[in-house]
Copies of this chain bind each other. A is one copy, B any other.
Amino acid sequence: MSAAAAPVDFYFEFSSPYGYIATELAEDLERRLGRALRWRPILLGPIFKVTGQAPLTNIPLKGDYARRDFARTARMHRVAYRHPDRFPIGTVAACRAFYALDERDPQAARRLARSLYRAYFVENRDIGDAAGMLAVAKEAGLDAAALGAAIEDPRLKERVKGEVDAAIAAGVFGSPFFVADGEPFWGVDRIPMLEEWVRRGGW
């Protein structure tokens, strides 16, 4: 990866099927881009309050399409997928835990994110409550006790709020959402466009 080029911001929500698929594709994507991805989990709940939007599966017609598309998009990318029984879920605990790790060890934060996503979208486990989230963290070899304390830490609560505000300021309204040199790309299906944009420096 080029040390000179700025990282590409990679926003995702832990309850988002397309966000999950994007994290599974992220390492290959970094290699193809020649740029690091900066993983930034966000909460779509407060963002939907700004946009007036709703979770995909709650929207007539679009919801049916989305449920079919989650699974076929995962199959196309050879990513395991099982639509969770409880969907969507609140992911504020997962977000706080991610940033608690990310401040000192970004690779551990990525490991947590991948483990949480697979627990939710492959194993149908509930990562929406703190106990379920921490159980997954522990199995991933992370310090669940420290994370349990971190998610109650007012500083991390503020950190997550700040990340959501920053995402809104950057124009983020969905998951996954990439911003490369100020240029926004929404959705797994826009990854090819992101790659071409970075390669050509825009058009």
Q: Shortest distance in angstroms between A21's beta carbon and chain B's nearest beta carbon? A: 13
Chain B residues closer than 8 Å to A174, beta-carbon distance:
62
Given contacts A52-B59, A60-B51, contact A75 B203 (CB under 8 A): yes
Asked if residues A192 and B193 are in contact (CB atoms below 8 Å), the reply is no
Does any Cβ of B come within 8 Å of A26's Cβ? Answer: no
List A52-78 residues whose CB lies under 8 Å from chain B: 52-54, 59-62, 64-65, 68, 72, 75-76
Residue in contact with A72 in the complex, picked from B59, B60, B203, CB distance below 8 Å: B203
Does A144 make an interface contact (CB < 8 A)?
Answer: no
Q: Which residue of B lies closest to A76 (CB)?
A: B203
Task: With CB as the reference atom, state the residue of chain B lying closest to A72.
Answer: B203
Q: Which residue from chain B places its CB closest to the CB of A196 in the assembled complex?
A: B76
Q: How far is the CA of A192 from the CA of B193 in the complex (A)?
A: 12
Report the interface size for chain A: residues with CB under 8 A from the other chain. 30
Interface-facing stretch out of A94-102, A131-139, A151-159, A165-173: A165-173
* Smallest beta-carbon distance A184→chain B, Å: 6
Q: Nearest Cβ in chain B — how far from A82, in angstroms?
A: 17
A199 at the interface (CB under 8 A from B): no
CA distance A135 to B43 in the complex (A): 49
Residue A27 CB within 8 A of the other chain: no
Check: A105 CB closer than 8 A to any chain B CB: no
| Residue numbers in B under 8 Å from A173 (CB-CB) | 59-62, 65
Quick one: given A60-B52, A193-B189, are A65 and B184 in contact (CB under 8 Å)?
yes
Interface residues of chain A, those whose CB is within 8 Å of chain B, are: 47, 50-54, 59-62, 64-65, 68, 72, 75-76, 168, 171-174, 184, 186-187, 189-190, 192-193, 196, 203
